Amino acid sequence: SGQMGVVVASYEGEDKQVYHVAGVLIDGQFYRLRIRRITPKECFRLQGFPDWAFEAARKVSSNSQLYKQAGNSVTVPVIAAIAQKLKEIEEKDESFK
């Protein structure tokens, strides 16, 4: 029933067209987008680290280093889920033994 669209502003950059999403239009009402940078703690949480691990890292690292550490990690819950599925396949399939 409702309609939604994206409002895009553009301008010419040095050598290319640059686009910026300004907001969304829902049922004729414009909603300006406000995007914030997630905190280093949120980055650690998204990667599956417990808060105590973040607090320990924060004591010896700058925010810039914390972002890099979180960005260079692998998401532990995802790797654990993949490993579990591989284990299940191995247990069911005789060719793996």
Complete DSSP assignment for 15-74: SSEEEEEEEEEETTEEEE----PPPHHHHHHHTT--HHHHHHHHTT--HHHHHHHHHTS-
The C-alpha atoms of residue 19 and residue 9 are separated, in whole angstroms, by 6
The C-alpha atoms of residue 56 and residue 50 are separated, in whole angstroms, by 10
pTM, two decimals, is 0.54
pLDDT tens profile 15-41: 776 677 778 888 888 888 777 889 999
pLDDT band at 76 (very low <50, low <70, confident <90, very high): confident
